[in-house]
Structure 1
Amino acid sequence: MTAETWIWVAVAVVVLAALAAVGYAVLQQQRRSRLRSRFGPEYERIMAGHENRRAAEQDMIAREQRLAELDIKPLTPQARDGYAARWTEVQERFVDTPGFAVTEADQLVTAVMAERGYPTEDFEQRLADLSVGHAATLDHYRQAHTISGRAAHKEASTEELRQAMVHYRALFEELLAETTTEGRHAR
């Protein structure tokens, strides 16, 4: 080979390497954008909970994979109506027994999650599972759960209990909606 041929080969290798690097960067940015869109406000929370971006993104991908393996399904119209009626009863009981009503709201949200197919044994795992399809209301759930824990020790004011009900309702209504885990309407 001549020197000129070696130069062209070297140029071609450099160009291919540059194209591969650009392609990799574009794919990373697309993945990051997709995860940010999918996890919404939870994206930054998950990022803050990890040492680096790669570990956080791997956690989000693992959450998506775990959720895909679960049998998450929409509620039947009858179940949805039954849960909506129970929610109305819980709200009515709030006037006389706010602490008890908040406990019932927590139990009702958990029951809806279980019927939809979410594992409900561990609170942190519930948060991780819900983060994939319900990130927009997940902070409501966290706040309601915190207040509910304080209410169990009689350390929450009536206003805080009212706020817990509002927070539980945000996730409750979203779970009741007829959607799949991808956020699309079920058929």
Structure 2
Amino acid sequence: MSPTQIVVTVLVILVIAALAAVVVVAGRRRTLRQRFGPEYDHVVAEQDSRSAAERELRDRERRHAELQLVPLDPDSRARYAEAWEELQVRFVDSPAETLSQADELVTRLIAERGYPTGEFSDQIAHLSVEHARTLGHYRDAHEIQLRNAQGEASTEDLRQAVVHYRALFADLLGAEPVAARTPEQPDAAHDAPTR
């Protein structure tokens, strides 16, 4: 083989290896995007680079695999669904208290399913692997809950927070066991729920 043929062969091998690497990276990226949905974009926006974000998401998958997640039995699911219905009814009379109860109920459900309930950021990381599509709702509800604790949330904000909590709650329960109505606004008629 001539030196020119050797150089061309090496270059062809390098190009093929580079193309294979690009295909592998693109496949991993596509898999992460499909699994994490909007959470993928959220993490990319938070991190210094796309590769750092993807490392974070793969780390979340690894930590999630170590969890001992438990499916809810039908009785437990029914109790949670009933508790949520009662919570929505109480919203009209005490929206701020209901928001706190919604947060507590979601936290209890998270814990019963086997997810850690320590720091909010850790909850988000663990939940993101299976419940990424509802994490935006959970973040929004948490933000309103924090504003409410400082006395800075309106009744409409509180209503929206309960709606946001409901999205994650229903996702954790599975199979849409919670009625799709939202809490009534205080100035609404008791028999006409706001949608």
TM over 0.5: yes
Unaligned stretches of 5+ residues in structure 2: 176-195
Counterpart position of 1:136: 133
The one-letter code of the counterpart of 2:20 is G
Aligned to 2:16: 19
The C-alpha deviation readout for 1:2-56, integer Å capped at 9, x for no partner, is: xx44333332222111111100000000111111111111111111111111111
Output the amino acid matched with 1:159.
E
Distance 1:165 1:49 in 2: 26
SS in 2 for 1:129: helix
Aligned residue in 1 for 2:182: none
The answer for unaligned runs of 5 or more in structure 1 is: 179-187
Q: Deviations over 1:116-175 (max 9, x none)?
A: 010001111111111221111111111111111222233211111111110000000000
18-27 vs 124-133, greater mean Cα deviation = 124-133
Q: Which residue number in structure 2 is paired with residue 96 of structure 1?
A: 93
Tell me which of 70, 80, 83 is aligned to 1:83: 80
Are residue 119 (structure 1) and residue 127 (structure 2) matched? Answer: no
CA–CA distance in structure 2, aligned partners of residues 55 and 14 of structure 1: 30
CA RMSD of aligned residues (A): 1.3
1:42 to 16, 24, 39: 39
Distance between the aligned counterparts of 1:37 and 1:79, measured in 2? 30
Q: Write the distance in 1 (CA, Å) between the matches of 2:79 and 2:166.
A: 15
Q: Structure 1 stretch 4-13 or stretch 27-36: which is displaced more?
A: 4-13
Structure with the bigger RCO (C-alpha within 8 Å, sep 6+) is 1
Q: Distance in 2 between matches of 1:51 and 1:162?
A: 35
- Look up the match of 2:193: none
| 2: CA distance, partners of 1:172 / 1:74 | 14
Matches within 5 A, 1:50-65: 50-65=47-62
CA distance in 1, matches of 2:161, 2:31: 31
Structure 1 Cα separation of the partners of residues 46 and 145 of structure 2: 24
Aligned residues: 175
Match of 2:162 in 1: 165
Q: Percent identity?
A: 50
TM-score normalised per structure 2: 0.86
Give every structure 1 segment of 4 or more consecutive aligned residues whose post-TM-superposition deviation is greater than 6 Å.
none
The equivalent of 2:171 in structure 1 is 174
